[in-house]
């Protein structure tokens, strides 16, 4: 699987509404990465704004993941960033409230509890792990803060997708993305 270059729904040069990232598999037994599987389903259904940008197949690598995502964040200056990763042992979508760095913990500006109010199988998590998911999330939050971007960001861990949970995971993710976009519209009005 090759690293995807950012794909836009539209050829417009307007700022992106939402930047969505997903990873490649990283263990031998994984045929795919559930975060990328979910994002592929969403992308194929065209249910997000036309100014959505998809950065799929990000390598599971401490150096390469932020090296690919942060320049796109700085170039696109999207209203929303949703980074996604796979969590094989979680039963539902987990929206990460924070990311832990060597010196400090950074929290998303998003009220994640409110964000999940209309979802069916999603939860707030305070532990993004200690691997590349957490590292990328931390770097994204730090880049937003350092550049004082008018961007909100979350990290969503996606469980293994099955025939039983696929529709609910898709529905919940779309609900979360829509709520994030509504939240940024309200912030711009205020």
Q: Check if the beta carbon of residue 78 is closer than 8 Å to that of residue 23.
A: no
36-85 pLDDT per residue, tens: 999 999 999 998 998 999 999 999 999 999 999 999 999 999 999 999 99
% of the chain with per-residue pLDDT over 70: 90
Domain locations in the chain? Answer: 7-189
* Per-residue model confidence (pLDDT) at position 190: 39
103: CB partners within 8 A, 6+ apart: none
CA max distance for the chain: 49
Backbone φ and ψ for 70, nearest 5 degrees, come out as: -60, -45
End-to-end CA separation in angstroms for the chain: 43
**Average pLDDT of the chain, as a whole number:** 91
Q: Check if the beta carbon of residue 154 is closer than 8 Å to that of residue 95.
A: yes
- Tokens at residue 41, please? 């389903």
Whole-model pTM: value is 0.92
Q: Check if the beta carbon of residue 73 is closer than 8 Å to that of residue 21.
A: no
11 pLDDT higher than 60: no
Annotation: CATH topology of 7-189:
Aminopeptidase (3.40.630)
């Amino acid at each position: 699987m090759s690293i995807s270059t950012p794909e836009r729904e539209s050829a417009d040069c307007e700022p992106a509404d939402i930047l969505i990232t997903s990873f490649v598999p990283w263990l031998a037994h994984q045929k795919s990465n559930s975060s990328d599987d979910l994002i592929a389903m969403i992308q194929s259904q065209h249910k997000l704004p036309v100014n959505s940008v998809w950065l799929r197949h990000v390598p599971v690598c401490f150096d390469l993941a932020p090296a690919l995502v942060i320049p796109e964040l700085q170039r696109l200056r999207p209203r929303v960033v949703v980074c996604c990763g796979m969590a094989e042992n979680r039963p539902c979508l987990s929206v990460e409230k924070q990311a832990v760095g060597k010196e400090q913990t950074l929290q998303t500006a998003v009220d994640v509890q409110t964000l999940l109010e209309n979802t069916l199988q999603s939860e707030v998590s305070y532990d993004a792990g200690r691997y590349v998911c957490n590292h990328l999330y931390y770097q994204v939050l730090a880049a937003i803060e350092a550049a004082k971007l008018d961007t909100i960001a979350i990290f969503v861990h996606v469980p293994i997708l099955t025939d039983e949970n696929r529709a609910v995971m898709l529905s919940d993710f779309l609900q979360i993305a829509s709520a994030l976009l509504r939240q940024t519209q309200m912030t711009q009005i205020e």
